[in-house]
């Protein structure tokens, strides 16, 4: 309640300021991000895409990048498929397109007022007002070798976005979902009492899991270089398939975000209200859920045309239901603030980078430091408190000279006990889900993804994820679970990877989709998963998806 009051007070202070153009963001999982990765590598010098590691991405910035790419299409050697994707992306960001209303006419409008363009069920476009309304749905039928029953993912809802006088942006996203997941995923749901990406849920042995996802945000340009966002949504920080800083795989959260962009700098300060972990099997109705809070700062700098580096810091704190006002300062170094309140909280610092090379390749990486003492590293005794995570990755486009054949390679190493804390309230989680990597801690993961778009409406990929993880044997804490207090650790020294036991897993998927009309995908996939000590799972799926991110079981 206190953080909501502070949000309100902040809005009061910023409201009298002169307003400039503001934009909504487009969610993770849209096809725009495939084109964004390619343009980021091909263009190298684009001042907007330099800051694309912070997602969801700004529609206005993206539209400016599209215009720049279109103007230099020849020198960029865009393929015919790239040009097609570019035109369709402009269509999906209509409010910022320089095209006239007649540029993207629909061949088949419905009742004259609906689908007047291929991307929007209902669109209102005026000089001082824009409104887009679209249905959302995803229906996947799945069958696996470990169960005789039909599995499914059934989600439907509504997405709305609006610009008011180009001064205020509004965004709303609502879905209601039923899910009967593969056996290994359902086991994970029951073990952690959480459904990935969802908050409060209901479960039943026959019908599976049922939940709602409601996201909404207000965007205001407070000054020429400063915008303010207030809402309930997700973020992803990074250039990889995974993020070691902050991922969008957990539930949505309430937030206040300040974003300052000037010259070669982009700085974001975000205050969040999160849900501490719970052990009850059901949250039940009429239950007041306790709260915890977090603050993160992320500074991106583009010192060279082909290079972007970022600095990350964050703190999660466990004054249950009470916000720590020292962390409200958007500028202060959070570790210093944490020390000044007695150093009781879970703080992190990190570094990331991406380098675009030869207009064909991107090298990227992240380093997250939870706790680090160089003296104990030099002693090489495996002190438990050296907690850090590392990511290294490579993207290569147009492999072997084949247009739109792209490959991504990535490695993620996370030391035991990373993201955990003495206080289980302050661990790096939200609604019993990790805020960063879905495999928690004490893990080495390697990822290979081959993506191919052979024709404008066809998409396919081959994804291989292999990992090795430690295991908390006999109920003892060897650093795999970030939900347990690290005071319960079984060892203080000799904490190395895969002590005392190593588990190996693989998740392989072949996926293909056809897009018969804008943002409508008919898709099929075949997946294989193995994990030491469990039965191998093979499951196939077929489904249809409209204006929505695909549901994945890649853990």
Three-class SS state of 439: coil
Tell me the whole-structure pTM to 2 decimals: 0.93
* Domains present along the chain, CATH in parentheses: 2-546 (2.40.160.130)
Strand 151-164 and strand 236-237: the pairing is unpaired
Strand 502-517 and strand 346-357: the pairing is unpaired
pLDDT at site 1: 40
Q: Under 8 Å CB-to-CB from 71, ≥6 apart: which residues?
A: none
More confident residue, 247 or 472: 247
- How does pLDDT run across 329-348, given as a tens digit for each residue? 888 777 777 777 766 788 99
- How does pLDDT run across 261-300, given as a tens digit for each residue? 999 999 999 999 999 987 665 555 566 778 899 999 999 9
Three-class SS state of 126: strand
Phi, psi values for residue 60, rounded to 5°: -65, -45
pLDDT at site 309: 98
d(CA 555, CA 553): 6
d(CA 138, CA 548): 7
pLDDT at residue 18 tops 60: no
- How does pLDDT run across 503-546, given as a tens digit for each residue? 999 999 999 999 999 999 999 999 999 999 889 999 999 999 99
pLDDT at site 110: 73
For the CA atoms of 491, 497, 498, 503, what is the dihedral angle to 10 degrees?
140
Structure tokens at 156: 């439907």
Structure tokens at 57: 């991405």
pLDDT at site 277: 85
The per-residue pLDDT of the chain, averaged, comes to 90
Residue 445 CA neighbour count, 13 Å, CB half: 28
């Amino acid at each position: 309640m206190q953080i909501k009051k502070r949000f309100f007070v902040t809005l009061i202070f910023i409201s009298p300021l002169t307003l400039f153009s503001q934009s909504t963001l487009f969610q993770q999982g849209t096809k725009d991000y495939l084109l964004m990765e390619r343009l980021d590598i091909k263009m190298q010098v684009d001042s907007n895409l330099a800051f694309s590691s912070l997602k969801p991405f700004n529609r206005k910035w993206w539209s400016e990048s599209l215009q720049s790419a279109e103007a230099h299409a020849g020198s960029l050697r865009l393929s015919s498929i790239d040009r097609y994707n570019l035109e369709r992306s402009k269509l999906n960001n209509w409010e910022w397109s320089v095209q006239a209303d007649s540029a993207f006419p629909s061949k088949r409008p419905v009742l004259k007022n609906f689908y007047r363009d291929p991307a929007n069920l209902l669109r209102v476009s005026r000089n001082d007002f824009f409104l887009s309304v679209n249905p959302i749905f995803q229906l996947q039928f799945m069958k696996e070798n470990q169960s005789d029953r039909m599995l499914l993912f059934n989600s439907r809802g509504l997405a709305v976005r609006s610009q008011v006088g180009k001064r205020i942006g509004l965004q709303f996203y609502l879905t209601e979902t039923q899910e009967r997941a593969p056996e290994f995923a359902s086991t994970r749901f029951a073990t952690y009492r959480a459904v990935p990406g969802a908050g409060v849920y209901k479960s039943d042995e026959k019908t599976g899991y049922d939940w709602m996802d409601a996201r909404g945000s207000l965007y205001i340009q407070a000054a020429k270089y400063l915008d303010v966002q207030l809402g309930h949504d997700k973020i992803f920080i990074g250039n990889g398939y995974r993020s070691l800083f902050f991922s969008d795989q957990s539930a949505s959260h309430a937030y206040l975000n300040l974003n300052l962009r000037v010259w070669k700098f982009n700085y974001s300060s975000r205050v969040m209200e999160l849900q501490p972990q719970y052990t009850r099997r059901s949250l039940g109705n009429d239950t007041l859920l306790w709260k915890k809070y977090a603050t993160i700062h992320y500074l991106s700098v583009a010192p060279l045309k082909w290079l972007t580096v970022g600095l990350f810091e964050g703190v999660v704190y466990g004054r249950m239901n009470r916000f720590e006002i020292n962390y409200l300062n958007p500028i202060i170094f959070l570790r210093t603030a944490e020390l000044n309140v007695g150093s009781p909280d879970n703080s992190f610092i990190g570094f990331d980078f991406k380098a675009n090379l030869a207009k064909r390749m991107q090298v990227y990486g992240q380093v997250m430091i939870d706790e680090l003492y160089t003296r104990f590293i030099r002693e090489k005794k495996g002190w438990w408190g050296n907690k850090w995570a590392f990511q290294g990755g490579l993207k290569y486009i147009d492999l072997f000279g084949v247009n739109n054949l792209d490959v991504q390679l990535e490695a993620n190493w996370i030391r035991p006990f990373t993201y955990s804390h003495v206080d289980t309230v302050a661990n790096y989680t939200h609604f019993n889900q990790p805020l960063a990597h879905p495999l928690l801690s004490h893990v080495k993961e390697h990822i290979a993804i081959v993506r191919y778009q052979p024709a404008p409406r066809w998409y396919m990929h081959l994804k291989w994820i292999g990992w090795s993880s430690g295991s908390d044997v006999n109920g003892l804490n060897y650093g795999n679970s970030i939900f347990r207090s690290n005071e319960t650790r079984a060892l203080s020294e000799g904490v190395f990877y895969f002590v005392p036991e190593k588990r190996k897993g693989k998740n392989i998927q072949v996926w293909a989709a056809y897009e018969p009309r804008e943002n409508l995908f008919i898709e099929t996939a075949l997946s294989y998963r193995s994990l030491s000590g469990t039965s191998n799972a093979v499951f196939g799926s077929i489904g249809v998806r409209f204006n929505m991110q695909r549901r994945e079981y890649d853990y």
